[in-house]
Amino acid sequence: MKLLLGQIPVSRKRSTTDRLNIAQWPSVLPLADKTVHCDDRCLESMFKAQSMKPMHGNCFLSVQMDVTAHHRQQVIEWIYDVCKEEYCEPDVFLLAVSLVDRFLSVQSFHRNNLQALAGACLFVSSKVKAPQPLNAERIAYYTDGAVRMDQILQGELLVLNKLNWDVSTSTALDFLDQVAARYGDLHPLSEDSRIAAHRIQMG
């Protein structure tokens, strides 16, 4: 796995005009819809769907023989850095982390292939959440030659297969929307909540 904790090689950083998700492709946050955000059935459905996701406790003790929590932290930091470089929506990062964790909880994996897995999960997540999805070639670019584009495409199919194509899961910010709609005073805390969500995902 060719990466440094929390770093993208300087040679792989792009100019502002060469990024996908900058201001000319803005996403618009939806207004609170009382029919959706204030209906307890919606929140209950989110909790129910979350509880049905295949997560088996501490996968580093029960499933993974070669990947450790430290290796996971490395690739999560890398995903976060790529998302910052490309100005991705916060949900892109959160969903990518969820996909990594769900995959590792059901499939043993070799640490040398972990960055390819992270790239594949980011690829899938950006398709689901980003207004302008990242492409596999762009994600591979940020690995500084450690992962090829075809490995990310193969990884995408592997992730989708292992997760039974169930990739549209609720993130921490989806739950925050539900809570904030019920308690208006929480709206000013949205940015702090995004920072907190990142720290929680880092474990």
Which residues, 6+ apart, have CB-to-CB distance to 176 below 8 Å?
186, 190, 193, 197
At 189 the pLDDT is: 62
pLDDT digits (tens, 9 = 90+) for 171-194: 877 887 787 777 766 666 655 666
User: Phi and psi at residue 7, in whole multiples of 5°?
Assistant: -135, 140
CB 79 within 8 A of CB 118: yes
**How far apart (Å, rounded) are the C-alpha atoms in residues 198 and 193?**
9
What CA–CA distance (Å, rounded) separates 92 from 140? 17
Question: Could you tell me the two tokens for 153?
Answer: 């495409």
Say which residue the tokens 């495409």 belong to. Answer: 153
Token pair recorded at residue 34:
């009382």
Closest C-alpha among 3, 32, 19 to residue 174: 32
Give CA–CA dist 203/193, Å, rounded: 15
Domains and CATH numbers, the chain: 39-201 (1.10.472.10)
**CA distances for 120 relative to 41, 116, 134, angstroms:** 33, 6, 11
The residue among 5 and 62 whose pLDDT is bigger is 62
Per-residue pLDDT averaged across 68-80, rounded? 90
- Quickly tell me which residue has 């297969």 as its tokens: 161
Instruction: Kindly report, residue by residue over 2-49, the tens digit of the pLDDT.
Output: 554 445 665 556 555 555 555 444 555 556 677 777 788 888 888 888
7 - beta bridge partners? Answer: 4
- In this prediction, residue 38 carries a pLDDT of 78
